[in-house]
Structure 1
Amino acid sequence: MFQSKSPLYYQLAEIIINDIKEKNLQENDRILTEREYCEKYNLSRSTVRQAIAYLEKKGYIYKVQGCGTFVSSRVMKQKLLKFYSFTEEAKKQGKTPSSKILSFKEKKADEKICKELNINRDDKVYELQRLRLADDEVVMYEKTYLLEKKMQGLSKNILLENPLYDILQNRYNISFTKATERFSVLLADEKIAEILTIPQGSPIIRLQRWTYAGMEIIEYTVSLVRGDRFEFEVELEEK
């Protein structure tokens, strides 16, 4: 133990991560105190504090003043090799997914949305704003634009019944052929911080998604994702 060339705080952080996994600690379970780690591994308080700060920054743990340090909510992982649904992926990871519709309306597309969906200025779209939750915790804010002519009669009540992609496929017989996604990293402003229930200035992921049916774009979505609760993963293979 503590024989590699990595900094001591990093080695301790790896030990704590392994403890969380091997002991199958659950969200909100308490871990050892700084003093207990010092005594157990014969480390200085500054080294232990550095390891705890590193793990807190990475989202593995969180501290409650006067109460201790606890295991954080598990970060949701999303592979990007094929079409995916937030609802189905959350279920695979043992979480209970839900959505809260903030607004749903039909409107004429403005210049930006016309460009993103490659439609005419007079075309109508549905604008859907919603929160995506995992185990009742907000992880994502989405604003989605859909072609009205491809899904006439879509309503808030219909959206409350089933996941959006299930509705498009089963109710409107829309077959997805591909999707393009673009990622960027931002800092949450006051409005978004309040929506996502995170401190202002926290890192968030801005995800844009264009979904195609044939050559036609039928969905454009902008998602703002909590950086401490979600990570995306790409697997690269040598050909």
Structure 2
Amino acid sequence: MIPAYIKIHDAIKKDIDRGVWKIGERLPSERDLADHFQVSRMTLRQAITLLVDEGLLERRVGSGTYIASHRVQEKMRGTTSFTEIVRSQGKIPSSKLISYQKQLATETEIQQLQLKPSEYVIRMERVRFADKVPLVFEVAAIPEKLIRHFERTAVTEHFFQTLQDHGHEIGKSQQTIYAKTANERVANYLSILKGHAILALTQVSYFTDGTPFEFVRSEYVGDRFEFYLENN
């Protein structure tokens, strides 16, 4: 059974990702949040502390708790394409497309992709496999103006290669990684139990001129995938 504070953590994080809570906005008091979630203040405080530790929230002495401007980040070096990572390890990559929709960019996507509030993204959900074993559930947001003339399969099956074929040069990526547990929907896609350990990763990828072209939120099965750091 998933602890109550983890459920509260996931609910607040989901609202942050959806833009219900804006960057820099002050959260209600712990008492009000505890009443809202119908838990004790101690349980509520555990959830808030975890979100603070992950860099999603920040406490300001004498003022309250706010949505953080930046998450805690750990630099990693290496290939940013999932397909290339899997192939480099001698495995066969594949994907199952769950959804592919044109939607208005969320607050987070506007910030990460440097978009205007009225701009659209193509948001696609995929399950990624290595040798037919599900490794990751992925939600990618791409500026619609960038890919509006591309065939869907060119985006869903070999996006990075498509960009390079159209003259774009892939540059750096910025990544944030943290631990969480799988909710029921993600667990079903990844063939694991609800509450299973997950490595969550957010990544913004850029062209060499510094323009961001993709914002991805990924959830990796904790015991099927590992990250390593490579420092100069």
TM over 0.5: yes
Q: Which residue of structure 2 lines up, in the alignment, with residue 61 of structure 1?
A: none
Q: Is the 8 A contact 1:83 1:179 kept in 2?
A: no
Q: 1-side partners of 2:219 and 2:113: how far apart? A: 19
Q: Which residue of structure 1 lines up, in the alignment, with residue 85 of structure 2?
A: 89
State which drifts further: 222-231 or 173-182: 173-182
User: Is the aligned partner of 1:117 residue 2:94?
Assistant: no
Q: Which runs of 5+ in 2 are unaligned?
A: 1-74
Q: 2-side partners of 1:204 and 1:93: how far apart? A: 21
Q: 2-side partners of 1:155 and 1:143: how far apart? A: 19
Residues paired across the two proteins, number: 157
Deviation at 1:218, TM superposition (A): 1.1
- Candidates 200, 217, 223, aligned match of 1:222: 217
Deviation at 1:158, TM superposition (A): 2.6
Deviation at 1:146, TM superposition (A): 0.7
User: Is the aligned partner of 1:147 residue 2:132?
Assistant: no
1:49-128 mapped onto 2 (5 Å cutoff) = 80-128=76-124
Q: 2-side partners of 1:112 and 1:235: how far apart? A: 28
Q: Which residue of structure 1 lines up, in the alignment, with residue 177 of structure 2?
A: 183
Q: Which has the larger radius of gyration?
A: 1
Q: 2-side partners of 1:206 and 1:155: how far apart? A: 29
The one-letter amino acid of 1:165's match is F
State which drifts further: 116-125 or 138-147: 116-125
- Candidates 117, 132, 136, aligned match of 1:136: 132
- Judged with a 3 Å threshold, the aligned counterparts in structure 2 of structure 1 residues 226 and 158 are, in CA distance, closer, same or farther, namely same
Question: Which secondary structure state, in structure 2, belongs to the residue aligned with residue 145 of structure 1?
Answer: strand
TM-score, scaled to structure 1:
0.61
Q: Which residue of structure 1 lines up, in the alignment, with residue 191 of structure 2?
A: 197
Question: Which secondary structure state, in structure 1, belongs to the residue aligned with residue 170 of structure 2?
Answer: coil
Question: Which secondary structure state, in structure 2, belongs to the residue aligned with residue 120 of structure 1?
Answer: coil
C-alpha RMSD of the superposition: 1.9
Question: Which secondary structure state, in structure 2, belongs to the residue aligned with residue 232 of structure 1?
Answer: coil
After superposition, what is the alpha-carbon deviation per residue over 1:51-78, rounded to whole angstroms, capped at 9, x for unaligned?
xxxxxxxxxxxxxxxxxxxxxxxxxxxx
Q: 1-side partners of 2:226 and 2:191: how far apart? A: 18
Deviation at 1:83, TM superposition (A): 3.1
TM-score, scaled to structure 2:
0.63
Q: 1-side partners of 2:106 and 2:155: how far apart? A: 23
Identity %: 29
Deviation at 1:189, TM superposition (A): 1.6
Question: Which secondary structure state, in structure 1, belongs to the residue aligned with residue 150 of structure 2?
Answer: coil
User: Is the aligned partner of 1:211 residue 2:205?
Assistant: yes
Q: 1-side partners of 2:210 and 2:141: how far apart? A: 17
Question: Which secondary structure state, in structure 1, belongs to the residue aligned with residue 227 of structure 2?
Answer: strand
Q: Which runs of 5+ in 1 are unaligned?
A: 1-78
Question: Which secondary structure state, in structure 1, belongs to the residue aligned with residue 91 of structure 2?
Answer: coil
- Candidates 197, 206, 226, aligned match of 1:231: 226
